[in-house]
């Protein structure tokens, strides 16, 4: 195992995260358990914020893409670190507001925002809504008119950039469900459309080309396309680009097939974007826009691990050895969705050499319920504590109650101390919304 920023192996041979012994965490809080290192999250937020401050005179804002991990505590951390957030649903908006997050630093996304979500955003007075369709521009205009307001918006544009990542997390190819396309002219007609609305104020554009992307070139091409387009819109409609939101998408380490970037290293992505914005804006004679970036995965991904207890072990000689854990696709559906790869570590024997190739399986009634396929581990025994690394992003946020399994709790480690930030679910929680119609009630 590579020791990393958040993780180390202590003198007992146990895995530690943020100074807390994972074996102790498992015995105190039980498993499965999501564990987050607060220091890492804060550090990532700071790296992004300070890079924008230093290299772009602070003429911008980092938005934490909270779909990666949404709960009230993480919004408190983002607020304390002086950054903004993006939300993609009424549920995320509600959670952020409930945590006391300042509405003006909230940006709302989504390819099909519902009427009530737009209404809630307007009532809260959020900073900006990123419109993704003509019907949304209409809705925002109408809802703003009802409230006697003018709402700032950006248009999500699709620059048609193919990034090297899983097809399901690419978002800027021509056939994407997201955004107005530059290629087919809808980005231009949506600009004209929005400029004609009374109760929306078009401030600029947003683009997001995909997720888990390492190469900087795709981001740079997207910047260039956006600014070329903005220059054209200035010429044709006199529209002045004030804000440019470049989305998120920077890759993280899951296994040694991925690059390992130290938190400070992520500054390079922001610097590459800034250089591209400056060069292109100068070439086109545009003033520098207020710049937004929206990293999600890179802020929380490597900050989190999941702890499990090893249960059944099934060895099929010459075929496969399954190590089943007490979690599965209900806490981490990413293998089932994207065949994603992870690095597991035996947390109670982290100093032992790996001697076996195994497949980590979940407990759901489904063959595809796997966490990591063909990974190396020391010889695991029932009762061992298994840590799966880099599970901080898109694990808890995509968790579900399949098979009526309970979504595991989340704990936050700060200087070696751990506290709940999301409490465990109970069977009662999972049954909370069930209703038995009168006619189906058991009578005898
Ligand atoms: N901004 C927008 C508009 C987005 O759609 C996303 C991610 C982000 C920012 C943040 O991207 P990040 O920095 O986290 O890569 N469930 C998938 C990932 C879906 C990403 C959706 N959008 C997964 O588990 O890999």
On the question of pLDDT at 361 being above 90, the answer is: yes
7-31+304-391+396-426: what fold?
Lyase, Ornithine Decarboxylase; Chain A, domain 1 (2.40.37)
Q: What is the DSSP string of 363-376?
A: SSSSTT-EEEEEEE
Helical spans, DSSP H, in 259-363 = 267-284, 297-300, 334-338
pLDDT tens digit sequence for 179-218? 999 999 999 999 999 999 999 999 999 999 999 999 999 9
pLDDT tens digit sequence for 230-265? 999 999 999 999 999 999 999 999 999 999 999 999
Residue nearest ligand 1's atom 1 by CA: 247
pLDDT at position 29, please? 98
On the question of pLDDT at 1 being above 60, the answer is: no
Mutate-to-test residue for ligand 1 from 294, 390, 395, highest number of ligand atoms within 8 A of CB: 294
Assign domain 38-298 to its CATH architecture.
Answer: Alpha-Beta Barrel (3.20)
pLDDT at position 163, please? 72
pLDDT tens digit sequence for 36-53? 999 999 999 999 999 999
On the question of pLDDT at 19 being above 80, the answer is: yes
C-alpha 356 to ligand 1 mean position (Å): 34
pLDDT tens digit sequence for 299-337? 999 999 999 999 999 999 999 999 999 999 999 999 999
**Catalytic: 364?**
no
On the question of pLDDT at 428 being above 70, the answer is: yes
C-alpha 198 to ligand 1 mean position (Å): 32
C-alpha 299 to ligand 1 mean position (Å): 12
Mutate-to-test residue for ligand 1 from 157, 163, 166, 208, highest number of ligand atoms within 8 A of CB: 208
* pLDDT confidence band for 165 (50 / 70 / 90): low
The residue ranking higher by pLDDT, 301 or 162, is 301
Average pLDDT on 383-389 reads 98
Residue nearest ligand 1's atom 19 by CA: 169
pLDDT at position 162, please? 73
Pairing verdict, β 417-422 and 410-414: antiparallel
Catalytic residue among 128, 354, 365, 410: 365
pLDDT at position 440, please? 97
What are the tokens at 79? 């607020």
pLDDT tens digit sequence for 51-98? 999 999 999 999 999 999 999 999 999 999 999 999 999 999 999 999
φ, ψ for residue 290, nearest 5 deg: -65, 130
pLDDT at position 4, please? 64
Among 388, 337, 373, smallest CA distance to 31 is for 388
Query: Is the C-alpha dihedral spanning 77, 82, 84, 90 positive or negative?
Result: positive
pLDDT at position 284, please? 98
On the question of pLDDT at 418 being above 70, the answer is: yes
CB atoms inside a 10 Å sphere around CB 42: 18
**Percent of the chain scored above 90 by pLDDT?**
94
C-alpha 340 to ligand 1 mean position (Å): 15
C-alpha 386 to ligand 1 mean position (Å): 27
CB under 6 Å to ligand 1: residues?
A: 65, 67-68, 86, 109, 169, 171, 208, 211-212, 247-250, 294-298, 334, 393-394
**Domain coordinates in residue numbering, the chain:** 7-31+304-391+396-426, 38-298
Average pLDDT on 153-169 reads 79
> CA–CA separation, 375 vs 341, rounded Å?
9
Average pLDDT on 134-161 reads 96
Question: What average pLDDT is seen over the chain?
Answer: 96
pLDDT at position 177, please? 86
Residue whose token pair is 């061992």: 384
On the question of pLDDT at 404 being above 80, the answer is: yes
On the question of pLDDT at 172 being above 80, the answer is: no
pLDDT at position 164, please? 65
Residue nearest ligand 1's atom 7 by CA: 211
């Amino acid at each position: 195992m590579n020791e990393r920023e958040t993780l180390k192996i202590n003198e007992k041979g146990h895995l530690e995260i943020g100074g807390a012994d994972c074996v102790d965490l498992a015995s105190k809080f039980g498993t499965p358990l999501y564990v987050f290192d607060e220091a890492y999250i804060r550090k990532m937020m700071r790296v992004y914020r300070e890079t924008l401050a230093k290299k772009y005179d602070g003429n911008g804002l980092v938005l934490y893409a909270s779909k990666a991990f949404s709960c009230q505590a993480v919004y408190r951390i983002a607020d304390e670190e002086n950054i903004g957030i993006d939300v993609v649903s009424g549920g995320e908006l509600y959670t952020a507001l409930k945590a006391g997050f300042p509405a003006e630093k909230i940006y709302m996304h989504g390819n099909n925002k519902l009427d009530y979500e737009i209404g809630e955003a307007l009532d809260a007075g959020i900073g900006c809504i990123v419109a993704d369709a003509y019907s949304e521009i209409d809705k925002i205009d109408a809802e703003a008119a009802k409230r006697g307001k003018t709402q700032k918006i950006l248009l999500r544009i699709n620059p048609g950039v193919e990034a090297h990542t899983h097809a399901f997390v690419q978002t800027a190819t021509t056939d994407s469900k997201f955004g107005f396309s530059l290629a087919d002219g809808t980005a231009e007609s949506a600009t004209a459309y929005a400029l004609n609305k009374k109760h929306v104020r078009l401030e600029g554009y947003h683009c997001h080309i995909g997720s888990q992307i390492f190469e900087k070139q795709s981001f740079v091409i997207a910047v260039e396309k956006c600014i070329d387009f903005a220059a054209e819109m200035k010429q044709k409609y006199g529209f002045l680009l004030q804000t440019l939101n470049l989305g998120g998408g920077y890759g993280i380490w899951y296994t040694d097939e991925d690059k390992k970037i130290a938190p400070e290293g992520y500054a390079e992505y922001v610097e590459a974007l800034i250089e591209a914005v400056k060069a292109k804006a100068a070439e086109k004679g545009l003033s520098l826009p207020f710049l937004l970036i929206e990293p999600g995965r890179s802020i929380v991904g490597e900050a989190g691990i999941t702890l499990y207890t090893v249960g059944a072990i099934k060895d099929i000689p010459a075929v496969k050895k399954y190590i089943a854990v007490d979690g599965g696709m209900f806490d981490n559906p990413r293998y089932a969705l994207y065949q994603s790869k992870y690095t597991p570590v035996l947390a109670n024997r982290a100093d032992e050499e790996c001697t076996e190739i195994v497949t980590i399986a979940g407990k759901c009634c489904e063959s595809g319920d796997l966490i990591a396929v063909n990974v190396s581990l020391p010889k695991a025994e029932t009762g061992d504590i298994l840590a799966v690394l880099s599970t901080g992003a898109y694990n808890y946020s995509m968790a579900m109650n399949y098979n009526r399994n309970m979504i595991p709790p989340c704990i936050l480690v700060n200087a070696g101390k751990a506290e709940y930030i999301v409490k465990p679910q109970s069977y009662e929680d999972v049954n909370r919304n069930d209703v038995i119609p009168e006619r189906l009630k058991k009578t005898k």
